[in-house]
Structure 1
Amino acid sequence: MTAAILVLNAGSSSLKFALYEPGELALLCRGTIAAIGGETDLKVTGPEQALLGGQRPPAHANHEAATSWLLGLVGEIRDLHLVAVGHRVVHGGSRFSSPTVINATVLAEFRDLIPLAPGHQPHNLAAVDAVARAWPGLPQVACFDTAFHRTMPRLAQLYPLPRDLVDGGMVRYGFHGLSYEYIADVLPDHAGERANGRVVVAHLGHGASLCGMRNRRSIATSMGFTALDGIMMGTRSGAIDPGIILHLIQARGMATDEVADLLYARSGLLGVSGISDDVRILEASDDPRAAEALDLFAYRVVREIGSLVAALGGLDVLVFTAGVGEHSAGLRDRIAQGLAWTGLTLDHGCNARSEVRISDAPSKVDAFVIPANEELPIARAARDLA
């Protein structure tokens, strides 16, 4: 019988998962249920992809149904014995700064944080509930997207708000920490000693953020108290003048729920283009609104990287990761052009092929494309704590 750790990574519109052997964390298989709520699709890779491959999730399944379907599929694998399940939990608040074994008390605290990550936290916790129903008593471990950024200096975490609000936890938390943790772990394999220098990692997916690292620890990041802050995203606005929110409520008469829907679900690439939140569709379009949306995205990324470079005191390494960062050579080129003042120059052939190193020999900044792997840090924590 094969022992295994199951990792569940519930996103806003997808469910990523992986199975690892608990000893050396050898990957058995990993996959994604994509387009949850629509024409769902299952993609599985890895040496044992036949364990879960060849199946199709129910169409138009929501997160709960997709998760239950996947757990049923895992439960039917012959001679597989689960020893633990690890979960991505987007927001750990001010209390949770390291992986934590889930029990009823901490689960209640996670639920209190739902308003700070409404597009993700409910899906993360629904997966916890689904596992508890399927396998009562099976150890479950939570790993937090906010934890990696707890190394930021105090000034990088503070907002210029009344002290009682700050003392009550209204600070910059940052997100995508599991992605940044993985990049920090493998970066020396690619960048050598420069990995410990002044590094900016661009996690560019449907949700997007940036992290400035020194000694492979978070120094500053673009997202803040919630995952709405920072650069523009697929459907999220990113940072905007807070006076706009007041205007929408006070002058336009919008309810808070309407404003939340506008900022989380109808802005970003979708809102600017009026076409799609999918970079692939926008890049294939000849509509000038699509080009403007992509240009604005690159501009906002470049501006925010400039802020991180100031916090770091320079730039030695730039890393692109996540779906857009890994696959859009066009956006990487746009961003690199905007950062020419740092001495960054790309090898256009390497960039077009999405090779690991995409900077050219004369470049003063090393640039890399490193595929995201949020599941491995989760599996490691589940192995160590379960």
Structure 2
Amino acid sequence: MTSVGTQEKTRPCPRCGAGIGGDERFTVWCAACDWNVDPEGPRKEPRRLDRTRRALARRHGEKLHAGIVSGEDLRARRDASALLALVIALAVHGVTAAVAALGIWCLVHGWGGWPMLPGLFLLLLAWVLRPRPASLPDHVPVLHRAAAPTLFALVDEVAEVAGTRGVDAIVIDGAVNASVQAYGMRGRRMLVLGMPYWEILTPQQRVALLGHELGHYGNGDVRHHTVLGSAYASLITWWYCFAPEDDPAATALELISNLLLLVPYWLVTGVLLLLDRLTLRASQRAEYLADRTSAHVGSTEAAVGLTDRMLVTDSVEAVLAREANRAALAGPSGYRAAGDRADELWERLTSHMASIPEAEYERQRRVGALRGHSVDATHPPTHLRRAGLIAGERMPAAVVVEGDRADRIAAELAGARRLVGRRIILDGPSFGG
């Protein structure tokens, strides 16, 4: 399907001579020989840590995919690697506790003298690095059961099929993503739904998305363990604190600081990579199992369609950025009209998604295979996740959304949908996870 005014032209491929053409809003390429299939080339991660993580993710993803094809049992299981990762996580928290204890010691034994200064610094550092449970955000819409009974009932139904329990809150933000995580001291669960992501999915793909996210709990994903997850957060904080300044015009003092921080920086990087090596295979297995739950809950067809949507998120982000830029160029009048244009934003986005031709999806699938595309630096390659779904048993939907049920869910999300749309127009899109 192409938009009005779009012209398709056919011409010979410069490499093999086969006829090529298509919607000129998208990259023109040759399906016969892959000419121009990836004109931009692979993207390089700016940070070495992410590059290493992505390489590990791709290696483990390929091995696990081979296991899927051969019929290997991928059910989650605890092993020596997971136990060692938990020990390291506890050691990380032990370091934070030791820093706090040393700070207290300095204050008690140096009261009134110079040891008070390092004591205060150590306590401040321990406070920054302390394991902290996530909390509900206060800058985006948060839905509770009373405000969205139909949506929560759907989540509960999906959770039951996935072998877990539902969530306590649903957060709606502007990211092209979705996730689940614990919050609060009691370990309650929140589901984070990026409204742009939700909008580009069919009703059944949305069910598949819920199945995938809740499948992480049902399949025992080690990285959703509170102790391990909070240790990762502390290590990432250490990593940023010790990261050297990458400035060609650095002063002599900054260069000396970089040298002093080099050893702790590489030490923290090493611990992070060790934890990745210990948990990445289990985490990747959990992703494949979550995909399997996605297919079981929403159908194989919907789960495969969901992976295709992951490949065109750049196109979604471009539409959102264009709408935000249009409001900025219109000046004060554009911002005043942001509320009225919020619904138009979603209509333009869904219209754009409906106009993406199958040839573009196929190109993105081939590019994903070439680049090893994944949702982030720790997920298995998307094309392998898709292939794993296709290679498995074709499953019908265990949970179906149809009729007025979809309309009731849309009505419950209408207020959040409008607020998020207005925020995107006023402040620009959020592409975070």
Scaled by the length of structure 2, the TM-score of the pair is: 0.26
Of Structure 1 and Structure 2, the greater helix share is in: 2
Higher relative contact order (CA 8 A, sep 6+): 2
Of Structure 1 and Structure 2, the greater strand share is in: 1
Scaled by the length of structure 1, the TM-score of the pair is: 0.29
